Amino acid sequence: MSSSSYELGRDVRPSDLTFYYLLKGLAWGLVLLLLAMVGVIFALSWEALSHFGPGFFFDPSWDSWREQFGALTFIYGTLVTSLIALILAVPVSLAVALFLNELAPSWLARPLGFFVEMLAAIPSIVYGLWGLFVLAPFLRDHVQPPLGQYLGFLPLFQGPPMGVGMLAAGVILAIMIIPTIASISREVFRSVPATLREAALGLGATRWEMLRLAVLKASVSGIVGAVVLGLGRALGETMAVTMVIGNRPQIDWSLFESGQTMASILANQYAEADSSLHLSALTAVGFTLFVVSLAINSLARWIIWRMQRVN
Amino acid sequence: MELIAVKKLEAWFGVFQALKDINLSIQENEVVALIGPSGCGKSTFVRCLNRLHEEVPGARVAGEVWLDGRNIYAPGVDPVGVRRGVGMVFQKPNPFPGMSIYENVAVGLRLGGVSKRTVLDEKVEQALVRAALWGEVKEILKRPGTSLSGGQQQRLCIARALAVEPPVILMDEPTSALDPISTAKIEELIQELKTKVTVVIVTHNMQQAARVSDKTAFFLLGELVEYGATEEIFTRPAQEATERYITGRFG
């Protein structure tokens, strides 16, 4: 018998029974709500999906004049900005978590940890404004020129520095997901048993060797979980990205170029879509975003599950 | 020959004094059992022998511990270096997760800078043989250390401690989480080990102390009440407190 099933004995109080069915109803209600949302989005997307077929996902064009729509540009934009965000945010978050948990004295760790978590409380639109007025000009003047000068042989860093674009979106996303990854990683590190730390110290490990042997190795699956939650946030983040990405539906190798993500095209065009095919194509992009998020989350759960089974 | 000499050792957790003026000497290739009721300071004492006690926030140590002719509490001594030369086995088996059986044994050698495969292979095998685990794991060295049974894990931890060939191994209640058969194996192992190393073992089990040790130290409330040959302690204790403890009249 699984622990979730509740055997109703013979002498059940009516109030317990009511409570049981109330909770059961609420739990199932959530599942139904999710299914209903997916169903409705899929139904609304059907016009575009049936019109363009599977090619919708591989078509880079988005032309509301000729009514030719494809999601590839936005899938690309979402994946690339989220990838930049992870590359920047994961090492910083892990370093912050290790520092706060393992190295900082508690009089420093408490306030610092509080501030890191406060980053998660800043509204998305405020990040967007800051990104547009502070981050983008800073990238344009101080980051993109040297990147272009020294790493310009890579297609990633070519073209004129413009500030707004894929790079700015990736950086702002990185800042937004750091609190998520850092605070979950802190919990994961905290759950490493003291006996493992002592095992490492007892062998004559230095502090860093102890962290590597006992803390990081034992935390891998938890860290993957933290990263995926951060990734989930980055994939769906809309407002801040829309404000700094430049909003041009194009696929360009250069991170200095403008782009468009699945979330930002929705935010940009929902109000002005005048044909039903255009509206349906937008909904289909939303549906794609849902599927991509679901797939990445499932993949991560699978990775975590497999790693826990090995250990 | 004297291997460990403890002089006027005192230890604190914050303001609580866990050890008071401990003086004792341990000979080479001896098994010394530390007994006493919970909270008497015996665990703290072994953790002072490899400078692990000071890792607890707020913990403090005073006095001298001479190990192999060197005071490990002298100013300028690096605790990391001290710990490399002293093996330690803990209450609960604690192999490193995410590491194979082989890597768990090799980890101390790697920390010491050994990276040559042939040397590692040889020392890992030696350590596993000495820990009486080789026969059970030689075919599955690549499997995770955590996949072994509890008793095997504890012998793996003993192998991990033995791999760097320390002159002394500290054991902090090494069998309290194990079943009787695994416990018997570890006790047998301790007997074999003492031909080459000195073992200091904390135990709550008085039969175990009587079975495995040459000398026994009885701790009470942070003080060393009595220390002597195990047979003497268990048959003709000099102190009344010792007698009351070993006969189970308090504990």
Structure tokens at B76: 């300028």
- Provide the residue range defining the domain that includes B20: 1-85+167-251
Q: What is the number of residues in chain A?
A: 311
- Chain segment B207-244, per-residue pLDDT in tens: 999 999 999 999 999 999 999 999 999 999 999 999 99
Residue showing tokens 């919990």: A187
Structure tokens at A72: 């590839």
B39 vs B26: CA distance, rounded Å: 23
A297 vs A304: CA distance, rounded Å: 11
Let me know: does B65 contact B6? Beta carbons within 8 Å: yes
The DSSP line for B69-124 is TEETTSTT--HHHHHHTEEEE-SS--PPTT-BHHHHHHHHHHHTT---HHHHHHHH
- Residue A176 CB neighbour total at 10 angstroms: 23
> Does B112 sit within 8 Å of A204, measured CB to CB?
yes
How does residue A2 score in pLDDT terms, banded at 50, 70 and 90?
Answer: very low
Assigned domain for B191 exists: yes
How does residue A285 score in pLDDT terms, banded at 50, 70 and 90?
Answer: very high
How does residue A128 score in pLDDT terms, banded at 50, 70 and 90?
Answer: very high
How does residue B250 score in pLDDT terms, banded at 50, 70 and 90?
Answer: low
B233 vs B242: CA distance, rounded Å: 8
Mean local confidence (pLDDT), B5-34: 95
Q: Does A202 touch chain B if contact means CB atoms closer than 8 Å?
A: yes
The verdict on B206 and B249 lying in the same domain is yes
Give backbone dihedrals phi and psi of A162, rounded to 5 degrees, phi first: -120, -10
Assigned domain for B90 exists: no
The verdict on B12 and B73 lying in the same domain is yes
The verdict on B229 and B134 lying in the same domain is no
The verdict on B231 and B217 lying in the same domain is yes
pLDDT of residue A288: 94
- Chain segment A77-110, per-residue pLDDT in tens: 999 999 999 999 999 999 999 999 988 988 999 9
Which chain A residue shows the shortest CA-CA distance from B50? A202
The share of chain A scoring above pLDDT 90, in percent, equals 69
> Does B146 sit within 8 Å of A203, measured CB to CB?
no
The verdict on B64 and B123 lying in the same domain is no
> Does B55 sit within 8 Å of A311, measured CB to CB?
no
How does residue A231 score in pLDDT terms, banded at 50, 70 and 90?
Answer: very high
Rg for chain A, CA atoms, rounded: 24
Q: Does A67 touch chain B if contact means CB atoms closer than 8 Å?
A: no
Q: Does A208 touch chain B if contact means CB atoms closer than 8 Å?
A: no
Structure tokens at A199: 């095992």
Domains of chain A, residue spans: 3-55, 57-310
Within chain A, strands assigned E span 62-63, 68-69
pTM for this prediction: 0.81
The C-alpha of A132 sits at a distance from chain B's nearest C-alpha, in angstroms, of: 44
Assigned domain for B129 exists: yes
The verdict on B144 and B199 lying in the same domain is no
Let me know: does A195 contact B75? Beta carbons within 8 Å: no
Give the domain-ending residue among B165, B194, B219.
B165
B239, HSE (Cβ side, Cα atoms, 13 Å): 15
A94 vs A99: CA distance, rounded Å: 8
The verdict on B181 and B221 lying in the same domain is yes
The verdict on B152 and B116 lying in the same domain is yes
The verdict on B212 and B142 lying in the same domain is no
Q: Over 90: is that where the pLDDT of A15 sits?
A: no
How does residue A310 score in pLDDT terms, banded at 50, 70 and 90?
Answer: low
- Chain segment B15-27, per-residue pLDDT in tens: 999 999 999 999 9
Give the domain-ending residue among B133, B150, B165.
B165
Provide the ipTM: 0.90
Give the domain-ending residue among B105, B130, B165.
B165
Query: How many domains is chain B built from?
Result: 2
- Chain segment A187-206, per-residue pLDDT in tens: 999 988 889 999 999 999 99
The verdict on B191 and B79 lying in the same domain is yes
Closest CA relative to residue A78, chosen from A279, A301, A286: A286
Q: Does A109 touch chain B if contact means CB atoms closer than 8 Å?
A: no
The verdict on B80 and B188 lying in the same domain is yes
The C-alpha of B164 sits at a distance from chain A's nearest C-alpha, in angstroms, of: 9
The CATH code of the domain at A57-310 is 1.10.3720.10
Assigned domain for B92 exists: no
The share of chain B scoring above pLDDT 70, in percent, equals 99
Assigned domain for B139 exists: yes
The verdict on B44 and B115 lying in the same domain is no
Interface of B with A (CB under 8 A): 50, 52, 55, 80-88, 90-92, 94-99, 107-108, 111-112, 144, 146, 157, 160-161, 164
Give backbone dihedrals phi and psi of B67, rounded to 5 degrees, phi first: -125, 115
> Does B90 sit within 8 Å of A198, measured CB to CB?
yes
- Residue B57 CB neighbour total at 10 angstroms: 9
Assigned domain for B146 exists: yes
Closest CA relative to residue A124, chosen from A264, A257, A223, A296: A264
Q: Over 60: is that where the pLDDT of A120 sits?
A: yes
Assigned domain for B91 exists: no
- At residue B199, the 3 state secondary structure works out as strand
pLDDT of residue A6: 54
- Chain segment B75-111, per-residue pLDDT in tens: 999 999 999 999 999 999 999 988 999 999 999 999 9
